[in-house]
C-alpha cells in the first residue's frame, strides 16, 4: 500500500495489531515516508534510516507523527544529491521536550500494558544508537535497505489463498475513522466459520472413507483428500477462541464492579485468522468435492447408491431378500411389449425373479462344468445376481444366439424409452464384470435409462463404483 507524500509532510503507515496481523508485531516492518520519498523502516523498536543508521527508539508499530519529527533530522539525513529540506521536517512539530521522558511516554505506557518486552524499552542495549538493521528487512545487494518503491510487496502474504506465517497483507487496507488500517475487501472469519470448516472436514473424511475402496476412479478420492488437506492446513494456524477468565476489579470511585471477562492468553506467532471470504471459499470447495462422491446406503441388506438399487460383484443382497418381480417393472415391460409388437417384434420374459437359493443352484452348476474363473464371467455368485433384486429380466432366448436377432436390435435401440437398459453392453466387460448379454435388461425408469443410453454409460460408470469380488 502506498501513501502519498507532499512537501514536508511525514506520513506513517501503521496497522493496529489484530488477530490477522499479530504474527510477530515486533518483527513486522512499518514504513515511514518523509519528504521527497525518503523511507524509514520501523522494526523491533528501532527507527532505521535509509543508510541503516538509528536515531530514535519507538515501540513496534508506533505512530511517528509530529512530535517525533525533530528526531527524523538526526535519524534520516538526506542522501547525497537529494533535494530535502531538513528544516521543513523539523518545522512540522513543536520543539522537542528536553526532559528525559521526551518521546518515551508511548513506550512507558506500552510497557505498562505489557506490549513491550524488556529489550524493547528505552535504555535497553538492544535499542541504543548504532544497532544494525534487522536481518529480515529487505536489502539490496550492497546491504542497503530497499525503499518502498523498490519492491512491490516485501512479503508474499498469501499462498494458495492463505496467509503465510510471519507476513502482513498491507494491500487492500485503508484507514478507518480512528486511523487504524482495516481490510476493505473481507473482514476476519468468525469463530462460527471455523466451526463450520471443522465440521466440513469431519464430514468429508467420513464420506471418503465410506467409498474409497469401491470407487471406479480412485482420483475422485484423491481430490477430496487434497481438499481436506488444504482445509486442515488453514485450520492448523487458525487459532481457536482464546480462553476467557473472569477478572474482578474495582472501578475508580466505586466500591465494587461486576467481573469483567478478559482474555489473558498470548497468541502464537503462527496463529492467523483468515479473511472471511477465504474461509467461506475453502468450506464451500470442500463440501462440493465431498458431495460429488457417491452416497452409499445399505438398509435391510439392500444397497442404494445415490438412491439407485445396485446389485453387482461388489454389492450383494442378503440371502433372505425375496421381493419378487417389481410391479413397476412388470407394467413397463407390458408397455414395451406393445410398442415392439407395433414394429413387428415379439418380446417375452425368458427369466425373471430368482431367489438366493435359485442362484446358488445355477452358479454351482456352472462352476462344476466350467470352473470358478470361467463361471464368474457370465454367472453371478449367490447374492450378487440382479435377478434377486426383482428389477432385472432376461428377454426371449437366454443365449448368445439372441444377439444377432431383430428383437435384440430393437431392444438395444428402444428399451430406454420404457425405462430399461441393456445391463451388460459389449465392450464394458472390465467395468460391469460380465461379458456382453443382449438379453439381460435392468429397469431404472425412463429418465435414468435414457441418460445412460444417450451417454453410452453403464450403471457402474454413472455411479462411479466398481464391480468385482
Asked if the model's pLDDT at residue 36 lies above 80, the reply is: no
Distances (CA, A) of 284 to 109, 199, 200, 202, 287: 45, 12, 9, 14, 5
Asked if the model's pLDDT at residue 230 lies above 60, the reply is: yes
Phi (first) and psi of residue 325, to 5 degrees: -70, 130
Rounded-to-integer distance, Cα 143 and Cα 140, Å: 5
The sheet with strand 420-424 has its strands ordered as 349-351, 392-395, 437-443, 420-424
Asked if the model's pLDDT at residue 437 lies above 60, the reply is: yes
Question: Max CA-CA distance within the chain?
Answer: 113
Query: Which residues are within 8 A (CB) of 461 and not within 5 positions of it... i.e. 6 or more apart?
Result: 216, 428, 431
- Give the pLDDT confidence score for residue 279 in this predicted structure: 96
- Give the pLDDT confidence score for residue 24 in this predicted structure: 41
pLDDT band at 140 (very low <50, low <70, confident <90, very high): very low
Asked if the model's pLDDT at residue 468 lies above 90, the reply is: yes
Asked if the model's pLDDT at residue 207 lies above 90, the reply is: yes
Lowest-pLDDT range, 44-58, 119-133, 424-438, 451-465? 44-58
pLDDT band at 27 (very low <50, low <70, confident <90, very high): very low
pLDDT band at 242 (very low <50, low <70, confident <90, very high): low
Instruction: Kindly report, residue by residue over 343-373, the tens digit of the pLDDT.
Output: 999 999 999 999 999 999 999 999 999 999 9
Lowest-pLDDT range, 106-115, 403-412, 454-463? 106-115
Rounded-to-integer distance, Cα 286 and Cα 288, Å: 5
Rounded-to-integer distance, Cα 231 and Cα 32, Å: 37
Q: Rounded mean pLDDT of the chain?
A: 72
Q: Is the pLDDT higher at 275 or at 160? A: 275
Rounded-to-integer distance, Cα 1 and Cα 169, Å: 9
- Give the pLDDT confidence score for residue 271 in this predicted structure: 80
Instruction: Kindly report, residue by residue over 283-314, the tens digit of the pLDDT.
Output: 999 999 999 999 999 999 999 999 999 999 99
- Give the pLDDT confidence score for residue 409 in this predicted structure: 97
Rounded-to-integer distance, Cα 275 and Cα 70, Å: 39
- Give the pLDDT confidence score for residue 332 in this predicted structure: 98
Q: Do 455 and 465 form a contact (C-beta atoms < 8 A)?
A: no
Asked if the model's pLDDT at residue 436 lies above 60, the reply is: yes
Asked if the model's pLDDT at residue 1 lies above 70, the reply is: no
Closest CA to 45 of 32, 70, 31, 62: 62
pTM: 0.58
Which CATH class, in words, describes the domain spanning 302-463? alpha beta
Encode burial over 27-51: b for 16+ CB neighbours within 10 A, e otherwise: ebbbbbbbbeebbbbbbbbbbbbbe
Task: Retrieve residue 163's grid coordinates.
Answer: 496467509
Q: CATH 3.30.1380.10 occupies which residues in the chain?
A: 302-463
Task: Retrieve residue 335's grid coordinates.
Answer: 408397455
Phi (first) and psi of residue 46, to 5 degrees: -125, 130
Rounded-to-integer distance, Cα 415 and Cα 393, Å: 12
pLDDT band at 401 (very low <50, low <70, confident <90, very high): confident
- Give the pLDDT confidence score for residue 374 in this predicted structure: 97
Closest CA to 19 of 338, 286, 271, 333: 271
Rounded-to-integer distance, Cα 468 and Cα 309, Å: 17
Amino acid at each position: 500500500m502506498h501513501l502519498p507524500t507532499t512537501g514536508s509532510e511525514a506520513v506513517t503507515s501503521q496497522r493496529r495489531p489484530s488477530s490477522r496481523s499479530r504474527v510477530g508485531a515486533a518483527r513486522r516492518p512499518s514504513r515511514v515516508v518523509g519528504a521527497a520519498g525518503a523511507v524509514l523502516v520501523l522494526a523491533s523498536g528501532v527507527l532505521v534510516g535509509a543508510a541503516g543508521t538509528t536515531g530514535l527508539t519507538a515501540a513496534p508499530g508506533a505512530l511517528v507523527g509530529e512530535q517525533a519529527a525533530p528526531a527524523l533530522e538526526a535519524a534520516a539525513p538526506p542522501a547525497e544529491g537529494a533535494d530535502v529540506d531538513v528544516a521543513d521536517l523539523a518545522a512540522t512539530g513543536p520543539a522537542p521536550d528536553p526532559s528525559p521522558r521526551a518521546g518515551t511516554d508511548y513506550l512507558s505506557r506500552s510497557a505498562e500494558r505489557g506490549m513491550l518486552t524488556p529489550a524493547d524499552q528505552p535504555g535497553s542495549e538492544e535499542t541504543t544508537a548504532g544497532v544494525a538493521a534487522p536481518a529480515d528487512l529487505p536489502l539490496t545487494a550492497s546491504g542497503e535497505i530497499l525503499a518502498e518503491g523498490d519492491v512491490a510487496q516485501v512479503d508474499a502474504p498469501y499462498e494458495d489463498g492463505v496467509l503465510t506465517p510471519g507476513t502482513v497483507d498491507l494491500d487492500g487496507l485503508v484507514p478507518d475513522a480512528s486511523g487504524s488500517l482495516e481490510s476493505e475487501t473481507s473482514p476476519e472469519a468468525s469463530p462460527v466459520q471455523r466451526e463450520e470448516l471443522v465440521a466440513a472436514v469431519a464430514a468429508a473424511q467420513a464420506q471418503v472413507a465410506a467409498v474409497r475402496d469401491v470407487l471406479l476412479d480412485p482420483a475422485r478420492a484423491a481430490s477430496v483428500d487434497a481438499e481436506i488437506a488444504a482445509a486442515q492446513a488453514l485450520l492448523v494456524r487458525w487459532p481457536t477462541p482464546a480462553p476467557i477468565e473472569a477478572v474482578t476489579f474495582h472501578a475508580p470511585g466505586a466500591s465494587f464492579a461486576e467481573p469483567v471477562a478478559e482474555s489473558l492468553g498470548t497468541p502464537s506467532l503462527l496463529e492467523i485468522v483468515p479473511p472471511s471470504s477465504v474461509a467461506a471459499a475453502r468450506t464451500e470447495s470442500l463440501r462440493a468435492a465431498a458431495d460429488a462422491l457417491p452416497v452409499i446406503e445399505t438398509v435391510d441388506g439392500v444397497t442404494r447408491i445415490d438412491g439407485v438399487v445396485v446389485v453387482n460383484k461388489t454389492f450383494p443382497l442378503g440371502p433372505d431378500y425375496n421381493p419378487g418381480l417389481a410391479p413397476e417393472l412388470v407394467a413397463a415391460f407390458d408397455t414395451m411389449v406393445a410398442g415392439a409388437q407395433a414394429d413387428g417384434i415379439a418380446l417375452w420374459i425368458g427369466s425373471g425373479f430368482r431367489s438366493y437359493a435359485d442362484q446358488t443352484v445355477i452358479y454351482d452348476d456352472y462352476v462344476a462344468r466350467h470352473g470358478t474363473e470361467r463361471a464368474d464371467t457370465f454367472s453371478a455368485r449367490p447374492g450378487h445376481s440382479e435377478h434377486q433384486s426383482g428389477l432385472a429380466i432376461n428377454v426371449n432366448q437366454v443365449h448368445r444366439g439372441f444377439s444377432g436377432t431383430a428383437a435384440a436390435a430393437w431392444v438395444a435401440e428402444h428399451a430406454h424409452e420404457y425405462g430399461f437398459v441393456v445391463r451388460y453392453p459389449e465392450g464394458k466387460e472390465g467395468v460391469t464384470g460380465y461379458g456382453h448379454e443382449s438379453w439381460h435388461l435392468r429397469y431404472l425408469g425412463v429418465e435414468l435409462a435414457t441418460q445412460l443410453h444417450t451417454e453410452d454409460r453403464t450403471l457402474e460408470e454413472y455411479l462411479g463404483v466398481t464391480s468385482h469380488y
